[in-house]
């Protein structure tokens, strides 16, 4: 698979491993779709803990036909913080809840709110579920949604290598572009009535010919 992009992503390092399929080209151009929230029933946009030190933003990564729920943890922008840490992302219910506990976000704040009300529902409805509609609609192998729908985003900044290593991610994208999206493109090409009949075993030379009257 060839990748055409201005900026690199983490799985680009797998390019050339096992050969290069030049017939499959990934035009990785990032774009944002405004005022679209395909997950508004489940996904909160942004939630801040009552400790005022930590923010947790839930998001969804659409990757090659499946959805993955993640959470981004970071310090709030304050000059004097007792518990400073480097921002990070985690994926899945167990990892998210473990991160919430590690940051000591307990009752009556973000930990209580997410674990009792939001996370189980988000995970149950979205995480690791197949959903091809958005992939087909926008003709992309990757999208994300946090506060905006982003097509073909860079996944390194979301630490998606915690879900797929570079080689696996590269192979998944290659197979999805050449297989699933490629086959969908073929299906949507206009097919004539004659072609449809031939596909079902009719002979175009005889099927439309009127029988001679005796």
Cα–Cα distance for residue pair 169/108, rounded to 1 Å: 39
**Which residue from 152, 129, 147 is spatially nearest to 36, judged by alpha carbons?**
147
The 10s digit of each residue's pLDDT in 40-90 is 776 655 544 445 677 777 889 999 999 998 888 888 777 676 777 889 999
Q: Which residues contact 108 (CB under 8 A, 6 or more apart)?
A: 50
Residue 181 has pLDDT above 60, yes or no: yes
Considering only 79-88, 117-126, 136-145, 190-199, which range has the smallest mean pLDDT?
A: 190-199
Question: Is the distance from CB of 20 to CB of 1 less than 8 angstroms?
Answer: yes
- Pair type for strands 129-130 and 66-75: antiparallel
Residue 213 has pLDDT above 80, yes or no: no
pLDDT band at 184 (very low <50, low <70, confident <90, very high): low
Half-sphere exposure of 35 (CA within 13 A, CB side): 0
């Amino acid at each position: 698979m060839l990748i055409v992009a201005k900026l690199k992503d983490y799985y680009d390092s797998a390019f050339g491993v096992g050969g290069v399929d030049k017939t499959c080209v990934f035009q990785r151009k990032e774009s944002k779709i405004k005022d679209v929230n395909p997950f508004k029933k489940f996904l909160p946009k942004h939630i801040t803990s009552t400790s005022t030190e930590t923010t947790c933003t839930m998001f969804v990564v659409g990757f090659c036909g499946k959805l993955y729920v993640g959470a981004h943890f970071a310090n709030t922008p304050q000059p004097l913080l007792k518990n400073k840490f480097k921002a990070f992302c985690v994926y899945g219910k167990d990892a998210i809840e473990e991160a919430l506990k590690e940051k000591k976000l307990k009752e009556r704040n973000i930990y209580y709110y997410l674990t009792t009300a939001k996370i189980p529902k988000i995970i149950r409805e979205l995480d690791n579920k197949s959903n091809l509609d958005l992939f087909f609609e926008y003709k992309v192998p990757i999208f994300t949604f946090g506060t905006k729908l982003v097509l073909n985003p860079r996944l390194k900044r979301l630490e998606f290598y915690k879900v797929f290593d570079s080689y696996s991610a590269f192979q998944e994208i290659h197979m999805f572009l050449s297989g699933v999206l490629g086959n969908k493109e073929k299906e949507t090409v206009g097919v004539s009535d004659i072609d449809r009949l031939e596909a079902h075993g009719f002979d175009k030379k005889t099927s439309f010919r009127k029988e001679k009257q005796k």
